[in-house]
Structure 1
Amino acid sequence: MEVTLPVALGSVLAIVVLGVAGLVAGGMMAMRTTLMMVAPSMLVFGLLAFGLGVKHGEYRAT
């Protein structure tokens, strides 16, 4: 199975969307708070972890 950059970024985005949808559906906090504070921080952390993971994979492959 070959994982391309669009597929990998799409999976990161899908995980963030599922997490935000779970928080909204669970009613744990106000929707406004979830969408304005939690969603952007989840997205930034997901992209940061993704970037670090890619760089570590490149390091391990050499």
Structure 2
Amino acid sequence: MKFDLAKTAVAFLVVIALGVGGLLAAPMMGTGTVLTMVAPSMIAFGLIMLVLGVKHGEYRAAGR
């Protein structure tokens, strides 16, 4: 399966939505805490990992 920008964005949003939804459904933290602290940090970490993954894929594809 080849990933393009649209498929990657949808997969990224689904993973974040599942994580935030699970935390909102579980009685661990308040809604405000999840939406103002956890969700932004999940998005930031996800973007960092996405960039690192893309760069690693480019490195592997170059055959170095």
TM-score (norm 1): 0.94
CA distance in structure 1 between the partners assigned to 2:9 and 2:60 by the alignment: 21
List structure 1 segments (4+ residues) > 2 angstroms apart after TM superposition.
Answer: none
Amino acid at match of 2:38: V
Identity of aligned residues (%): 52
The residue matched to 1:27 in structure 2 has which SS? coil
TM-score (norm 2): 0.91
Superposed displacement of residue 58, structure 1: 0.3
The answer to whether the aligner puts 1:36 opposite 2:36 as a matched pair is yes
Aligned residues: CA RMSD: 0.8
Higher relative contact order (CA 8 A, sep 6+): 1
Q: In the alignment, which residue of structure 2 is the partner of 1:11?
A: 11
Structure with more of its chain in helix, by fraction: 1
- Structure 1: tracts of 5 or more residues without a match: none
- Structure 2: tracts of 5 or more residues without a match: none
Larger radius of gyration: 2
How many residue pairs align between the two structures?
Answer: 62
CA distance in structure 2 between the partners assigned to 1:4 and 1:54 by the alignment: 12
1:19-58 paired onto structure 2 within 5 Å: 19-58=19-58
